[in-house]
Amino acid sequence: MLIIALLLAATLTSKTDVPRVQPAELRALLEREEAIAIDVRGSVPFEIEHVAGAVWMPLGQLNQRAGELPEDKLIVAYCTCKAEETSLQAALLFSSMGFSRVAVLQGGFPAWKEAGLPVESNRDTRVGRLAPPASVSCNRNDLTVYAGAVRQYRREMDKTSITIETDEDTVERVTLHHTGSDDPSRFFLIGGTPFTPSDWNRIERKKGELKPDLRAHAWVCADGRIVVDWML
Amino acid sequence: MHRSLLVALTLVLCFGAFADDFDFDIASTGSKKERTCATPHPSAQEAQAQEEYTNMLRDMMKERGGRFDMESNATTVTVNVYFHVITSTSGAGNISDNMIADQIQVLNDAYSGLTGGANTKFRFQLVSTTRTANNTWWTAGYGSTAETDMKTALRQGGAGDLNFYTNNPGGGLLGWATFPSSYSSKPLMDGVVCLYSSLPGGSADPYNEGDTGTHEVGHWVGLYHTFQGGCNGKGDYVSDTPAEKSSAFGCPTGRDSCPRGAGLDPIENFMDYTDDSCMYKFTDGQAARAASLSGTYRGL
């Protein structure tokens, strides 16, 4: 309660006025969705590792992007600097913009790490360039692809749903409808080649259960056609 | 996503009344995936370099009224290129020296801004070419043992040297690349691999003007796809490339897959998936990011 009272203080005018939040406190606030963590470092350290769920907003972008932040949550800025130099600047800036509930993470990201709290990384993204398979015949202007790891696969009578965690850090779901059947294979390719009955053993360990760690390219046309190309 | 595509998808979602072969649903959860890799915390040197980068961007924004412009950074760096042509034992994929020279020229035109984009700091010069007939390497794909063997045997130079391989990976893969930050942990795997027929004058129409090379080298200097992150989040970590929900193909002028965000999709950007004839530019923000990451991790 004391912390909350401190955080409700009026406009901050000096770095010493800025409330500090301990890592464990921040985690609890985040879990209760009462706070939002703002990573004010540059893009590289953020990409390498950051507080799970944090929003990347480097100091140089605060003026332009502060409007993205909710006004009903505590804003907790953090940096890598142990004395919170950069995050304190950010907190004062937020305060001057009218945000009434701002704070900094005591000890910054190193303290969060040392406490063993959850982090996320955006690294090791697979990169490349894809060309559509010849059997995807729709106008290329109306085509897109979701390429990545298959995270959910549900094959049942009438339809099959596939959820792909894409290499571009999004989650997409496609559902193939095959009324009166449990066989979606007419929508499938494997390595760009036609899918044959013998290929079921290459993607499923038993009927309806996908092998682990499979990747797929889901080619989606605006006219309704979809092709799932399994990558082994 | 192009508005007509959005409308079509909406209709599908709402009515689902398509002929059997065309029945499908598609949905984006909008959620971010959770990463599990335990990449080490940045070193003090990396953090310092990033701080300097942030300061540089801030100063540039002030000077340019909020717009990055790398042309003010006149210093260029010439990247040595080691070319490795992999062929089948029957000779398929044995591209000519002229095609290799044209590929280098395509890179220089793209990265100097000659084609209409930002003038990045990067220039490229061919140092040497190796030619290897090996049926396993000829079809080596991303992450394969064959890729490891090929690169281990052939790679030359250091972190700032570009090793450019051509082969026939299959599976619709035009090419792939490694990021600058990967060099320290896997130096032998560093470089770009491109489908041999994607080089200028090759047979991979509409991907035969050399821009697969441009795209992959973009990754090699630190750039993400323009559709990284979709409409939400941090996107490609470049502020002057509008958010894009997913990859674009062809040349869909006016595509606006993130209508709530500013700007149309950057289909003309080298880091999208559009046809070679459609893509012609990097942005100033991409130039700045590439300069920073390549400086930090490649010493360029």
Q: Tell me the domains of chain A and their CATH numbers.
A: 2-120 (3.40.250.10), 140-231 (2.40.50)
> What is the pTM assigned to this prediction?
0.69
Active-site annotation holder among B46, B51, B147, B216: B216
Three-class SS of residue A209?
Answer: strand
Nearest-Cα residue of chain B relative to residue A179: B20
Q: Which residue of B has its CA nearest to A229?
A: B171
Query: In Å, how far are B28, B57, B215, B240, B279 from B231, measured between CA atoms?
Result: 10, 24, 21, 14, 21
Say if residues B56 and A60 touch (Cβ distance below 8 Å).
no
- B56 has a chain A CB within 8 A of its CB: no
CA–CA dist B285, A21 (Å, integer): 34
SS3 (DSSP) at A101: coil
Structure confidence by residue, pLDDT tens digits, B10-34: 333 332 322 223 233 444 443 333 2
Q: How many CB atoms are closer than 10 A to CB B255?
A: 26
8 Å CB contact between A172 and A218: yes
Using the predicted structure, report yes or no on whether residue B141 has a pLDDT greater than 80.
yes
A84: left (phi over 0), alpha (psi -120 to 50) or beta: left
Most confident of A159-168, B123-132, B225-234: B123-132
Which residue among A45, A125, A178 sits closest to B224, beta carbon to beta carbon? A125
In terms of DSSP bridges, do strands B162-167 and B192-195 run parallel, antiparallel, or are they unpaired? parallel
**Residue of higher predicted confidence among A62 and B51:** A62
Contact A155, A182 (CB under 8 A): yes
The Cα B287–Cα B230 span in angstroms is 21
- Distance to chain A for B47, nearest Cα, Å: 7
Q: Cβ separation of B33 and A176 shorter than 8 Å? A: no
Q: Chain A within 8 Å of B116 (Cβ-Cβ)?
A: no
Q: How far apart are CA B91 and CA B17, in angstroms?
A: 51
For A166, the token pair is 């894409």
* Window from A40-44, B61-65, B80-84, B250-254 with minimum mean pLDDT: B61-65
B82 has which bridge partners?
B128, B163
Distance separating alpha carbons of residues B168 and B136, to the nearest angstrom: 10
Question: pLDDT tens digits, residue range B146-199?
Answer: 999 999 999 999 999 999 999 999 888 999 999 987 887 789 999 999 999 999
Q: Does the complex come out with an ipTM higher than 0.85?
A: no
- How far apart CA B56 and CA B276 sit, in angstroms, is 32
Distance CA B127, CA B78 (A): 11
Residue B230 pLDDT level (bands cut at 50, 70, 90): very high
More confident residue, A82 or A15: A15
Asked if B147 is an active-site residue, the reply is: no
Nearest residue, CB atoms, B8 vs list A132, A177, A224: A224
Q: What mean pLDDT, rounded, does chain A reach?
A: 88
Tokens encoding B288 = 């700045």
Inter-residue contact A216 to A223 (CB < 8 Å): no
With beta carbons less than 8 A apart as the criterion, state whether B213 and B164 touch: yes
> For residue A121, what pLDDT is reported?
66
